[in-house]
Structure 1
C-alpha cells in the first residue's frame, strides 16, 4: 500500500471530522474549560496569596529591599556601599529612640531619616505636599496627624517630644513644619515622621554612633541593600561584609524575609500541598478528557481504518487526533482561564482576611504566570489524555477496524491464546457448541454484561464519579476535625483580657517604675469591668523583667540546654546560637505576680498538681512556679526546660536583695494570657502579694475576667465604646475575637473544598453522561437487532436504565470502600498533624449523596433513550456501518 504524504489533505480531513463530531466537541470543550478553570483558580489562589503575603511582609519588615545590614557607623556604610555586587543602597537612620507624645502610646510613632530616592522602596507615598528639605520640615502619616488633633494637610506645625538615646533621662521638644502627608500603612500599627538630610546635619552632635557602647539604634545606619536578583540574599549579604574586611560576628545582616525565593525549599508541607493540588486536577481532567477521546475513537474506528486503507500512516492518524485536541484546547482553555481567575480572585481575599495581615490592602493582580501556568498544565493534561486513544486509532489495521466492536480490542493486543488452539476442527467444534442456561436472557444480567464490554471505560466513569464523592466526604471530614476548644486553648484562658494598648504590641516590659507608668493598666478600667452586668470573676497580673534575676552561681544548666564551644548557655534560633541574656553574673528573668483567679487556669506539667496545695505553699513565699515552652501541639519542648520540681534557686531583686525559692511545679506556658507576649527562658510565677514585696504594685500588666454565658457580645461593645471615648490608651481582647477567627478559618476551607468538589462532581457527571449518551448512539443497530428478535422498546429502555443504575451502584461501593480507607489513613494522619484539629470519622456526606447518584443513574439513560431519534427497526438495520 502506498503511503500518502499530503499535509494539506491530512489537515482537511482532521478539520472535517472535527466539525462532524459536534456532541463530542461540546462535551470536550466543557471538560477542558473546567480543567483550565481548576488550574487557573489554583494558580490565582497560590500566586495571589503569596503576592499579598509578600507585600504585607515587606511592609512589616520596613520595605522591599532585598536585605539590610544593621547598626553601621557612617564610615562602615561608606566602605560597604562600594561593593560591586550591590545595585542600590540607602543609609537610613533612626533619629530618636522614642517619640514621647502621649497621643502615640496606643499607636507609637518613629522618627527616621530616609533618602528621598529610597521612598518607593519603603512604601512612602506622599498624598499631599512634598518631601522635607530644611532641618525643621517633616513628613508625617495621616493617622499620626489625626492622633495629634490636626488635619492631614501640609503646612501645619507639630511639636514632638523626643528621647534621643535609650539612656537619656530628658526629653527634647522640637517644632516641625509638615511639608507633606504620607499615606498610613494599614499593615502596621506604627506612625512615621520622616525628616530631611538637613535635620541629620543640623543635629549631628546628638546622632553620634554609640551602638558598640550602649546598643543605641539612634545614630547608627540601617543599610538597605538591593542586588540584581533575590536569590541567595543572605549569602550575598555575608559576602558584602567579608569583602569590606569585617565578619558576621561584628556586623549583623538579614535577608528580607518577604522574599520566598530565599527559603522556598524549606517548606515541604506547602510544596507538597501545591503538588498535590496540581496532581488532583490533572487526574480529574484526565479521567474525562481521556474517556471522551477514547469513546470518540471507538465510535470512529472504522473511519480511521478506511483512512489507512487509502494510504494514511499511523503517524498521520495520530496527527488528526492531536490536531482536533489542539482545536478543542484553544476553544476551551480561554473560557476556563477567565472563569478560574474570577473564582480565584473571589477566594484569595478570604485567605488574606484570616491571616496575621488582616488589615492589608487586598489586591490580586492579573499575573501572567497565572494564565501561562494554567494553560500549560491544561494542555499537558490534554496531551496526556489523548495519547492512548491516538495510539489505538493509529495501530488498528483496516481489517480490524471493520470488525471492531465496542469492548473489542485490536488483534495485536489480544492474548495469544487463539494461536494455541489445536486446529481448525477443534475451533469449529468449539464454535458449534451451544451454551445451555435458564436465565441468560434476563435484563439485569444483560445490562451487567454490557458494562463489561469496555472495562476500561467503565472503570474510568466509576473513578471519575467516585473521586467527587470521596473529595466531598474528605472536605467535611477535615472541616469536622477543626476543634475550637484546641484552637482557643492556645490563645484564650479567660473570656476577656484588658491591658494598656502597648501590651498588645508586645511592648510591655515593666523595666522600671518610671517607664511602667506609660505601660501599665489603670485601676479605673478594672473597676469599670467589675461593674459590668454579667461580670463573674477576674484577677490581676503583675509583670516585670527587672524585678528579679536568676543568680548565676546558684544554678547549674541541665545537660539538655544548648551550649557553645566555650560552655556558654544559650538557644538556637533558625540555626544561629544566641547566648542567654545576662546582667553581670546573673541571668535576666521575668517575674509574674498573679491573683487567685489564675490558679484555675494553670496547666501543670510536672510537680505538685493539687491546686489547693499549690495555693498554700505559694502563699508562704518560699515556693514558685516555673513556665516551660511548648510547641503548637501543647507538647513541652524538653530540651528548653531550665529547672525541675524541687530545685532550689536564688532570685536577686532589683534592690540587690536575694531571695531563695523552691520550684514547686512546672507549668506549660500561657503565652497569650499570662506573659507579656515575649519569650523568656526564666519565667517565674508567685502570688501577687509576694511580687509586690519583691517589686511594687505599680507593675500592673493586665487583668483577665470571665462573664456569664451569652453576655460576651454585649460586654465587648461596652468595652469598645469605653476604650474609644474614656480611656483611649487602654485596650481589650475577647474570646469572641478568636472564635470569629476560628470560624473564618474553617469556613475558608469549606469554601475552597466546596468549589473543588462542585467542579470535580460536574466533571464526573459529564463523564457519566457522555458515556451513556455515546453508548446509546453507537448501539442503535444493536438495539434494532434486539427488537428484530422480539425484544420490546420498554425492555431495551429498562436494560439501559439498569446499566446506569449499575454505574451508580458501582460508584457507591467504590466510594464507600476507598472513601473510608482514605479517611481512616491519609486524612487521619493529616488532621492529627495539625494542632487545632482532632480527627473524627465522617461518612454522612457520602450517604447523603448516594440517593443523588441513584437518581442520576436512572435519569440520564432514561432521558437519553427517550430523546433519541424515532426510526424504524428496518431503517436502523439498513444503516451503513
Structure 2
C-alpha cells in the first residue's frame, strides 16, 4: 500500500511531547534510568581514565621518562640524520657519565649525566628553584641527593660529588669534583633513579680524555629519546625509521651498538599503546569487550523495559492514532522522539553525577593501590564516550517498542490487556480447589513473560557482577603471589645486593652474628655467591646460543674460539654459583631429581638452576644440565692478562694502568693457575628471584655451603634468609632490622615479607573497590528496573485490583499477592544468578588465570547468599509501598478510571 508523504513532522513532534507530559511519573523513572546508565558509563570512563593516567604516569617515573622510545648509543651524525625524519616530532638528548655507589649512595640509584632541557622535562625534572647548568662547574640535583649529601637546597652551595666512570666495567674509575648548585627539584619516590645533571662543558671535558673500558661501558653513551605522532605503534615506527635511513635494529647490545649499520632501540613500555602492541592478546581483548557489552546490555535492559512497558501502557492510544490515519513509520517516530527527549534530560544528569562519582572514587582507588594521584581531571573524551554510549543504548532500546507500536491494529489496541494473548491450541485448566493467592501471583508473572524475563535478568545482572567481582578479587592467590617473590620473612644483605646496576658487595659475618642473636628466630640460612669468578664447561651449541643474546654471530664465534675446551668438546664459559646451607636448599623449587645430596659434601653433588616464566614453567634454554650429568667447574686462582693484538703479557701491577690507557686495543685473559673439579648433577631446580643474584646472563648452579667454601675457596655471603616464630617476633625483627640498617651498619639493607603482602592487598583492594562500585551502580539500575516493572504493573492493573476487591478480595489478600509477585521476581533473580555463576565460573577462572599468573579460581556463592535478605526485603517491601499509593483511591474511582 502506497503511503503519501505529508508535511506533518511538527504535528508528530507535538503528539510525542504531549504524550510524554501525560505520563510524568513514568517519564521520571525513564530519565532516572537513562541518567543511571550514563552515570555507569561516565563513572567507568572517569575511573578507568584516571587509573590509566596515574598508572601510566607512575610507570613513566619507574621507567625514567615519558618519551615514546630511544635510539641508544648514537653518534652526532646519526642524531643529525635521524632527527630529520618527519615521523619524529621532537628529540631529547642525554649523555651518561657515571654513578656514585659508595656511601651514602649505596642504597640509592643515582646517575650523573648531561641532559638537554627537553630531556630534563621528559625525566620529570621541574626545578623548584634555579636554572639549568650553564657554567662548567654548575649542577642540578634532586632533594634526595641533597639529603644524602647533607647539603641544604640553597643556590650557590658547594657540592662534592664522588662517582665512578665505567661503573659496569671490571675496573671503574673514581672521579671526585666539586660543583656549584644552580638548581634543585623535589624527588618523586615513584622514580627509581635520582639524577645529578651537569653542564655540557663539564661533560665534554670529562669524556674528552676518557677511554671506554669495554664494549659494554655506558660512560660516554649518548641516547636520543624521541616523541612520535602517537603511542600506538612505537616499536614498529622506530624500526621503519631505522630501515628508511639504512640502519638495522640491534636491540641486544648495549654499548657499541651504534657502530656500523646497527642501532639499538628501546620502547617505553609505560605507554598503554606500546603494551597492547607488544602483548596483543585476544583473551584480554575479549574480556574488555565482554565487560563493555555487559554494561551496555545492563543499560539496554532497563531502558528497553521502560519503553516496552510504556508502549504496552499506551497501546490503546497508539491504536486510536492508527484509526485516524497515523502510519507505522510515524508511530515509530513518536516513540523515537520520546526517547530522544528523555535522553536529553537524562544524559546530562548522568554525565554530571558520573563526573563527581569518578572524582570521588579515584583518590580512594589510588590510595588503596598506593599509586600517586598525578591527575584526577576527567578527559573530555570520557564525556564524549559516555554520552555516545548512552545515546546509542537509548536508540537501540526504543527500536523494538517502536515496532510493537507501529504494528498494532486499532481493534487489537482497544481490546488489549497485559498478558491477554492466548496461545493457539492451549487449554485453560480449571481447579476445583478455587483461587489461591500464591497461584494467582505466579499466574500474574506469566501474563507478560517478556517483561518478567527482562526484569529478572536486570536484577540478576547486579548480583552476577558482584559475584564475578568477588570471585575475581578472591581468586588472587597470595600464596602464589608471594611464592614468586618471597622466600622467608626477611632477606638481609649488603645494600648493593638490592640495587639495580653497580658492583655487588657481600655481607660480613659480624653482621650475621648480630642478626641471628635476636630472639624469636625459627630458622635461618646463609647463601654464598660466586658470580663469574668460576667457569663451567658447557656444550658448544648451548654456550653459543647463550652468548648470541649479547653479540653478533661473528663476535661470539671469535670469543668462543679463544676459550679453553675440554676433551669432550665442551667450552669454558662463565657461571654463577650459589653455596646454600640446608634451610636455603629447602626453599629451592625442585623440577626433577633429589636435593638431599647437596647437603652431603662426600657426594660431590651439584644442582642445575633453570629460570621459569610467570606461571612457573621451566625455560629450557636457561640451562643444559640434567640429573645424572657430569659437570666440570674450573676454579681459577690466578689469571694472565695480555694485549690481544700482540700477545704481550701485562704484569698484574700494571693492569689498572693498562685499562686506563687501553685506547683501541683489547685486553685478553686466560687462567694461569686453576683446578678443574667434577660434580654429578643431582637435581634440576628453580629459585625465587629474591634469593638469587637478581640478574641473569650466565648459567647458574647450586652447591652445598660446605662444598662451595671448600672447593671454591670462597666465603662471600650473598644474603641471609630469616624466618621468625610468631607475628610478634616478625614485628620485633622488623624494628631491629630497620634500626640496624639505618644506624649500626648503613651499608646493609633488607626486604620483608610484609612489604609484598601490603602490595598484594593493595592490588586486590583496587579490584574490590572498583567492582563494588560498578556492582552498586548496576544494582541501582536493576532496582530501578524492578521499581518500574512493579509500578507499571500496579498502576496498569488498578481497575483489575478494584474489580477483585469488589467481588470479595480483601486488601490484606491483595497486598499478600503483590508481595508474592515481588518475592518471585527476587527469587528468580537469585536463581538466575546462581545458574550463571555455576556456568561462568570455570570460564572466568581460565580467562583470569591466563591474564594473572597468581590467580586461582575458588568457587563461592557468598555474594549471592549475602544478597538473599536484600532481595527478599526489596521484593516484599517495594510492592507494599506502591500499593499504598493506589489504595488512597476508592474502589469505585479505580473502576471508573479506565472507563
Query: Normalised by the shorter chain, which TM-score bucket?
Result: 0.7 to 0.9
Q: 1:434 to 1:772 in 2, by over 3 A?
A: closer
Taking the aligned partners of 2:890 and 2:233, their CA distance within structure 1 comes to 75
CA contact (8 A) 1:4 1:312 kept: no
CA contact (8 A) 1:808 1:857 kept: yes
Q: Deviations over 1:70-97 (max 9, x none)?
A: 112333333433444433223321123x
Q: CA deviation at 1:345?
A: 4.1
Number of the residue aligned with 2:8: 6
Whether 1:603 aligns to 2:585 is no
Taking the aligned partners of 1:784 and 1:152, their CA distance within structure 2 comes to 84
Taking the aligned partners of 1:833 and 1:133, their CA distance within structure 2 comes to 50
Number of the residue aligned with 1:500: 494
Q: CA deviation at 1:577?
A: 14
Q: CA deviation at 1:696?
A: 5.2
Number of the residue aligned with 2:654: none
Map 1:422-441; keep pairs closer than 5 Å: 437-439=431-433, 441=435
Q: CA deviation at 1:120?
A: 1.9
Q: 1:690 to 1:360 in 2, by over 3 A?
A: farther
Taking the aligned partners of 1:721 and 1:54, their CA distance within structure 2 comes to 34
Map 1:641-790; keep pairs closer than 5 Å: 641-655=623-637, 656=671, 657-680=674-697, 682-693=699-710, 695=712, 697=714, 699-710=716-727, 711-790=729-808
Whether 1:594 aligns to 2:580 is yes
Q: 1:852 to 1:226 in 2, by over 3 A?
A: closer
Q: CA deviation at 1:600?
A: 2.1
* Stretch of structure 1 that moved more, 18-27 or 309-318: 309-318
Number of the residue aligned with 1:425: none
Whether 1:327 aligns to 2:341 is yes
* Stretch of structure 1 that moved more, 295-304 or 257-266: 257-266
Taking the aligned partners of 1:480 and 1:201, their CA distance within structure 2 comes to 57
Q: 1:458 to 1:170 in 2, by over 3 A?
A: closer
Taking the aligned partners of 2:55 and 2:554, their CA distance within structure 1 comes to 28
Taking the aligned partners of 2:400 and 2:529, their CA distance within structure 1 comes to 71
Taking the aligned partners of 2:750 and 2:486, their CA distance within structure 1 comes to 13
Taking the aligned partners of 1:204 and 1:638, their CA distance within structure 2 comes to 42
Whether 1:315 aligns to 2:301 is no
Q: Secondary structure at the match of 2:180?
A: strand
Whether 1:364 aligns to 2:346 is no
Whether 1:464 aligns to 2:458 is yes
CA contact (8 A) 2:631 2:679 kept: yes
Taking the aligned partners of 1:182 and 1:614, their CA distance within structure 2 comes to 52
Number of the residue aligned with 1:389: 401
Q: CA deviation at 1:582?
A: 7.1
Whether 1:105 aligns to 2:106 is yes
CA contact (8 A) 2:636 2:675 kept: no
Taking the aligned partners of 2:208 and 2:371, their CA distance within structure 1 comes to 40
Q: 1:28 to 1:581 in 2, by over 3 A?
A: farther
Number of the residue aligned with 2:528: 542
Q: Deviations over 1:226-283 (max 9, x none)?
A: 3333343323323433344433342212232233324425143442332122111111
Q: Secondary structure at the match of 1:95?
A: strand
Whether 1:95 aligns to 2:97 is yes
Q: 1:287 to 1:826 in 2, by over 3 A?
A: same
Which of 598, 606, 623 is matched with 1:614 structurally? 598
Taking the aligned partners of 2:207 and 2:621, their CA distance within structure 1 comes to 48
Number of the residue aligned with 2:831: 813
Q: 1:827 to 1:184 in 2, by over 3 A?
A: same
Q: Secondary structure at the match of 1:126?
A: coil
Number of the residue aligned with 1:403: 415
Taking the aligned partners of 1:662 and 1:581, their CA distance within structure 2 comes to 29
Taking the aligned partners of 1:154 and 1:312, their CA distance within structure 2 comes to 83
Number of the residue aligned with 1:277: 291
Which of 187, 192, 199 is matched with 2:190 structurally? 187
Whether 1:338 aligns to 2:338 is no
Q: 1:695 to 1:365 in 2, by over 3 A?
A: farther
Q: Secondary structure at the match of 1:214?
A: coil
Map 1:285-296; keep pairs closer than 5 Å: 285-296=299-310
Q: 1:146 to 1:621 in 2, by over 3 A?
A: farther
Taking the aligned partners of 1:283 and 1:133, their CA distance within structure 2 comes to 61
Taking the aligned partners of 2:310 and 2:442, their CA distance within structure 1 comes to 23
Map 1:53-64; keep pairs closer than 5 Å: 53-64=55-66
Number of the residue aligned with 1:637: 619
Number of the residue aligned with 2:664: none
Q: Secondary structure at the match of 2:178?
A: strand
Residue-pair matches, total: 835
Which of 265, 280, 291 is matched with 1:253 structurally? 265
CA contact (8 A) 2:74 2:222 kept: yes
Number of the residue aligned with 1:426: none
Taking the aligned partners of 2:555 and 2:782, their CA distance within structure 1 comes to 56
Q: 1:823 to 1:248 in 2, by over 3 A?
A: closer
Q: 1:499 to 1:603 in 2, by over 3 A?
A: same
Whether 1:485 aligns to 2:479 is yes
Map 1:53-202; keep pairs closer than 5 Å: 53-96=55-98, 98-165=99-166, 166=169, 168=171, 170-202=173-205
Q: CA deviation at 1:349?
A: 5.2
CA contact (8 A) 1:94 1:218 kept: yes
Q: CA deviation at 1:680?
A: 4.3
Taking the aligned partners of 2:295 and 2:459, their CA distance within structure 1 comes to 14
CA contact (8 A) 1:38 1:340 kept: yes
TM-score, normalising length: structure 1 = 0.88
Q: CA deviation at 1:436?
A: 5.4
- Unaligned 5+ segments in structure 1 are 419-429, 509-514
Q: 1:15 to 1:580 in 2, by over 3 A?
A: farther
Q: Secondary structure at the match of 2:690?
A: coil
CA contact (8 A) 1:83 1:243 kept: no
Taking the aligned partners of 2:88 and 2:473, their CA distance within structure 1 comes to 48
Taking the aligned partners of 2:227 and 2:834, their CA distance within structure 1 comes to 56
Taking the aligned partners of 2:311 and 2:518, their CA distance within structure 1 comes to 77
Number of the residue aligned with 1:427: none
Taking the aligned partners of 1:200 and 1:222, their CA distance within structure 2 comes to 14
Query: RMSD over aligned Cα, in angstroms?
Result: 3.1
* Stretch of structure 1 that moved more, 629-638 or 137-146: 629-638
- Unaligned 5+ segments in structure 2 are 251-261, 564-571, 638-670
CA contact (8 A) 1:322 1:390 kept: yes
Q: CA deviation at 1:803?
A: 1.9
CA contact (8 A) 2:590 2:686 kept: no
Number of the residue aligned with 2:311: 297
Number of the residue aligned with 2:208: 205
Q: CA deviation at 1:522?
A: 3.4
Taking the aligned partners of 2:221 and 2:395, their CA distance within structure 1 comes to 60
Q: Secondary structure at the match of 1:668?
A: strand
CA contact (8 A) 2:58 2:371 kept: no
Q: Secondary structure at the match of 1:839?
A: coil
CA contact (8 A) 1:161 1:172 kept: yes
CA contact (8 A) 1:544 1:590 kept: yes
Taking the aligned partners of 1:353 and 1:580, their CA distance within structure 2 comes to 53
Taking the aligned partners of 2:309 and 2:605, their CA distance within structure 1 comes to 80
TM-score, normalising length: structure 2 = 0.86
CA contact (8 A) 1:64 1:121 kept: yes
